[in-house]
Amino acid sequence: MDARRVGGRIAAARRALAAGGSLPIPVLRITNGLAMISLVLSSCDLLRLCSDRSRPLRFPLGGREFATVLCQLASVVYLLSLFGVPSGSGHPKAPASDDEGGGSPRRARAAADAPAAMHAGVEGGDEEIVAAVVSGTLPSHHLESRLGDCQRAARLRREALRRVTGRGVEGLPFDGMDYQAILGQCCEMPVGYVQVPVGVAGPLLLDGRQYHVPMATTEGCLVASVNRGCRAIAASGGAVSVLLRDAMSRAPVVKLPSAKRAAELKSFMEAAANFETLASVFNRSSRFGRLQGIRCALAGRNLYIRFACSTGDAMGMNMVSKGVENVLGYLQNDFPDMDLISLSGNYCSDKKPTAVNWIEGRGKSVVCEATIKGGVVQSVLKTTVQKLVELNIIKNLAGSAVAGSLGGFNAHASNIVTALFIATGQDPAQNVESSQCITMLEAVNDGDDLHISVTMPSIEVGTIGGGTCLTSQASCLNLLGVRGPNRDSPGANAKLLATIVAGSVLAGELSLLAALAAGQLVKSHMKYNRSSKDVASAAS
């Protein structure tokens, strides 16, 4: 506690006493001085008595000893009351904020680090607070911690924004959001929320179970297209998924004095004999984080160390980062000349289309396949097996190669991934690597039926943490049967969600390719992706 905060608490105690009419300020100064003198004198007397062997302390205490102890206790209780420590002395206790009790450790840390409560005179009515924000005397990002009411903080920030910009945000919804739930977890300085419609496609018949897939999107025809793909899959007996790998990655970059020294560290990190030791250090960070592998890349004297680990039902970026910090601290013992440049050196690689994710995988690596009957291709998809196979080769494979695509050998995997991510509270920006997908089609059973598969090496999802705590997103996870952690088998819910994402992509790929092969794409979008209101206004 710094001197300014101590002074503030003493001043607050004095104001509280003065406001209550207990003691005037001059008298209060005298009592403070007397209490300090009493504390010092009684402490010295107690020390002298305890060190006097000819007159040891005995119970019951004598008159002098009793008086000394009583003065000591009275002085301590009085002085503690000035610092706001509950002492039963009759000082009123400050009301608890909404953050107390319950809430995540992260939120508790945010509350602990928050600035002290507003001083008297500023924390008045809404008008005074808005004026303080507009003038800049009260930073907008301090409102939650200063007021202790997240709903009120967001409302006043919204009004301050209107006054500063001269533009209102009346169309931006405000009521209906739990602003306490997003504090320290989802979004800073909120002023409302954006409405995104959620449609449901399905049922998707996957691995013998049916799923109704929630999709948050503003693109007309998308949910209808995935729904048609689900219908074709179900009519053909369903799809099957295989989870190949489950490993979130984080890759710090460190610099050493020379390339030779960096190579020595690389050899140390990749040596099989050292893995168990490094894993034990890494795994201390979490009950669920388990190191699976380490891969290094060298660029001059810079070493990029890619850690991969399982993360239970969480997406796991924070979990991996904590484990990495543990290992880096351990490495400093043998490599004191190692200089950490960044906890993330882009070799991870997060939110970027990279070859390392395409080859090594990141998050969940899933393959999903189905065999669509020839009759279903004709009746539901309105095309033929041969047209679909040819289209996939020329468009998804050759066309993507001509474009120099990295992981984009598909029709529109990102469409489905993003819609599912927004609906279920995932990080939408991780759509970049999570949408890496290669779609394969071939004729089977003497050319009568169609085999389709999607291979997705980097699906990054979780069922706890981040936006999964929000009511709407939690409802969508609950619809899929994967809400929260899996108590019986940690990690099972996140893995299941990843397979549902791949199964939904399979349905979307099947339907869009069919629409292209049949020449129905424009007609479908004119039907589902054009508002009659927009068409009427354009015509006029």
Active site residues: 219, 351, 427, 525
Find residue 511's DSSP bridge partners: none
CA–CA dist 370, 450 (Å, integer): 8
**Tokens of residue 379, six digits:** 């009746």
For CA atoms 391, 396, 398, 402, the dihedral sign is positive
Question: N- to C-terminal Cα distance for the chain?
Answer: 69
Find residue 299's DSSP bridge partners: 302
Q: Give, in order, the Cα–Cα distances in Å from 296 to each of 249, 253, 286.
A: 12, 10, 23
- b (16+ CB within 10 A) / e for 344-378: bbebbbbbebbebbbebbbbbbbbbbbbbbbebbe
The two beta strands, 290-299 and 302-310, are: antiparallel
Amino acid (one-letter) located at 63: G
CA–CA dist 387, 376 (Å, integer): 14
The answer to whether the bond into 60 is cis (omega within 30° of 0) is yes
The answer to whether the bond into 197 is cis (omega within 30° of 0) is no
CA–CA dist 369, 241 (Å, integer): 6
- % helix, strand, coil for the chain, step of 5: 50, 15, 35
Instruction: Show the DSSP H helices in 425-491 as ranges.
Output: 431-434, 471-480
Burial class (CB in 10 A: 0-12, 13-18, 19+), 260: exposed
Amino acid (one-letter) located at 263: A
CA–CA dist 396, 365 (Å, integer): 20
Cβ atoms 94, 116 nearer than 8 A: no
- Residue 200: CA count within 13 A, CB half-sphere: 10
Q: Residue 461 CB: number of other CB atoms within 10 A?
A: 29
Sequence-distant (≥ 6) Cβ neighbours of residue 215 within 8 angstroms: 198, 199, 200, 201, 222, 223, 226, 416, 419, 420, 423, 504
Cβ atoms 74, 36 nearer than 8 A: no
